Amino acid sequence: MADTELMDKLVSLAKRRGYVFQSSEIYGGAASVWDYGPLGVELKRNVKEAWWKSMVHERDDIEGLDAAILMHPRVWEASGHVSHFTDPLVECLNCHRRFREDTLLSEQGAGSPAELQCPSCGTRGKWTEPRQFNLMFKTFKGPAEDSAEIVYLRPETAQGIYVNFLNVQQSARQKVPFGIAQVGKAFRNEITPGNFTFRTLEFEQMEMQFFVKPGTDAEWFERWREQRLAWHREVLGLAPDRLRYHPHEKLAHYASAAGDVEFFFGGSIGDEGWGEIEGIHNRTDYDLGRHQEYSGKRLEYIDAAAGERYLPYIIETSAGADRVTLAVLANAYREEEVEGETRVVLSLRPSLAPLKTGVFPLVKKDGMPERAGRIHEALRARGIPSFYDESGAIGRRYRRQDEAGTPFGITVDGETMENGTVTVRERDTMAQARIGQDQLEAYLRERIG
Ligand code: GAP
């Protein structure tokens, strides 16, 4: 399958199976905004929960936080977003479509704007002067649309962590080095969004800010870089040959070292198909320093034992929940020939799959539907998300769940009625095992993880 085809196939499967729908579709769709359907919302929740478990629940040195989206407007002056969070915007004088000048220059290998060709209408060299366009969405607090009442929809979750640094450190009685983790929505008025859920106007971030003593930051950066790459590989199961670390050559104004975890999506995403799914940055003491300056409040960490006070350096790991979920989907998509038909399989890790089991009566008689219904309900009651399906040939029912990514198919047949065993079909290998009904939960739990 060509890389470009994969994304088209994923978009179509996502809609067909209820993973992702275009926002406001009945009105013609809202560009670059997507809604997660019944299976998509479960998959994304499982990705976020896997992250939270690794970052917060399994560690003593990271605390969780859920800060508000709306913040004091001075936060965004201090962070540099009001002055720096801009892209150079140019408009084609012929068709009036707008583009990022820097993206066009690098895509077309052009040395100057005069050489640029409009990707929409093909006109060459007819552009407005570039204008710095701020990517933050603005709105107003209260009834007056007054500039004094401007508030921003946060473009990253990180700032909510920085302004709460001392609240968390003191209330949780943490000592540096320690981290604060948060999952939440962020908004960016991207000039050229697109590629399905890869670049959208509204998205979710899973960010962790790790506060360290200055001088130990380079070592911590290295440690986090390795841990995050290992997480994508080992916890999500992303294929090692589709993952890479790409160091930044040009650093943001706040960073002393930075790089991206990239996944190979193929098609027109990123650099020849390699797209960033997570950024890892050494943000130095820039953020705490700026908030200390703009708020007038001391944000230093006091190390009483060592008799020291200092502004910690910050190592940030910032993953996009939507991009990571898209990587998980792209990584799982397979097509194979089975008995002259194409079988589409979403080979998701059982721990991430939205549904863990499909439960099927072989036929709609002889007490099989009732027996299968009871198994389905018992699994659900024990916290194993399950789907009951009695319609159509058994082969078709298996295929529907293969495509939805459900790892186990449980079939109630004549033998079940005689001796209480069911068949458990494994999605990827299609191998079937006969398991006693009383062993079923333990069998599944061992494999779901
Ligand atoms: N606090 C640092 C920060 O926000 P970033 O590299 O701009 O860094 C981090 O963003 C992650 O957020 C990216 O790796 C990506 O996964 C996700 N992300 C950023 N912009 C996005 C967009 N427009 N649509 C979807 N995800 C986005």
**pLDDT tens column, 396-413:** 999 999 999 999 999 999
What's the pLDDT at 2?
62
Nearest CA to ligand 1 atom 22: 199
Distance 200 CA to ligand 1 centre (A): 10
What's the pLDDT at 297?
97
Closest ligand 1 atom to 278 CA = 14
Closest ligand 1 atom to 157 CA = 1
Closest ligand 1 atom to 156 CA = 4
What's the pLDDT at 149?
85
Closest ligand 1 atom to 207 CA = 1
What's the pLDDT at 142?
87
Q: Does an H or E element contain 309, and which?
A: strand 308-310
Tell me, using a 6 A CB cutoff, whether residue 200 lines ligand 1. yes
Q: 10 Å Cβ neighbour count for 63?
A: 20
Closest ligand 1 atom to 205 CA = 12
Whether 243 contacts 233, CB under 8 Å: yes
What's the pLDDT at 143?
83
What's the pLDDT at 194?
77
184: β partners: 205
Distance 320 CA to ligand 1 centre (A): 6
For a ligand 1 pocket test, name from 103, 198, 203 the mutation site with the most ligand atoms within 8 angstroms of its C-beta. Answer: 203
Q: DSSP of 345-376, one letter per residue?
A: EE---TTT-S--EEEEESSS-TTHHHHHHHHH
Tell me, using a 6 A CB cutoff, whether residue 159 lines ligand 1. no
Tell me, using a 6 A CB cutoff, whether residue 156 lines ligand 1. yes
Whether 423 contacts 394, CB under 8 Å: no
Distance 197 CA to ligand 1 centre (A): 12
Nearest CA to ligand 1 atom 21: 199
Give the chain's largest Cα–Cα span. 80
Distance 269 CA to ligand 1 centre (A): 14
Q: Are strands 20-22 and 34-36 parallel, antiparallel or unpaired?
A: antiparallel
pLDDT digits (tens, 9 = 90+) for 330-387: 999 999 999 899 999 999 999 999 999 999 999 999 999 999 999 999 999 999 999 9
Tell me, using a 6 A CB cutoff, whether residue 360 lines ligand 1. no
Tell me, using a 6 A CB cutoff, whether residue 203 lines ligand 1. yes
What's the pLDDT at 4?
65
Tell me, using a 6 A CB cutoff, whether residue 315 lines ligand 1. no
Nearest CA to ligand 1 atom 5: 279
Q: How far apart are alpha carbons 137 and 92 in whole angstroms?
A: 23
Closest ligand 1 atom to 197 CA = 25
Whether 133 contacts 191, CB under 8 Å: yes
| Amino acid symbol at 146 | D
Tell me, using a 6 A CB cutoff, whether residue 279 lines ligand 1. yes
Closest ligand 1 atom to 158 CA = 1
For a ligand 1 pocket test, name from 318, 326, 328 the mutation site with the most ligand atoms within 8 angstroms of its C-beta. Answer: 318
Q: pLDDT means per 10 residues in the chain (449 residues)?
A: 79 96 96 96 98 98 98 96 93 93 89 90 94 94 83 98 98 98 97 88 98 98 98 98 95 90 93 95 97 98 96 98 98 95 97 98 97 98 98 96 98 97 98 97 96
Tell me, using a 6 A CB cutoff, whether residue 276 lines ligand 1. yes
Q: 10 Å Cβ neighbour count for 442?
A: 10
Query: By C-alpha distance, which of 382, 360, 365 is closest to 444?
Result: 382
Q: How far apart are alpha carbons 346 and 342 in whole angstroms?
A: 13
Tell me, using a 6 A CB cutoff, whether residue 291 lines ligand 1. no
Q: Are strands 357-361 and 386-388 parallel, antiparallel or unpaired?
A: parallel
Distance 181 CA to ligand 1 centre (A): 15
Q: DSSP of 381-426, one letter per residue?
A: HTT--EEE--SS-HHHHHHHHHHHT--EEEEE-HHHHHHSEEEEEE
Nearest CA to ligand 1 atom 17: 320
| Amino acid symbol at 248 | H
Distance 199 CA to ligand 1 centre (A): 8
Tell me, using a 6 A CB cutoff, whether residue 326 lines ligand 1. no
Distance 293 CA to ligand 1 centre (A): 26
Distance 259 CA to ligand 1 centre (A): 12
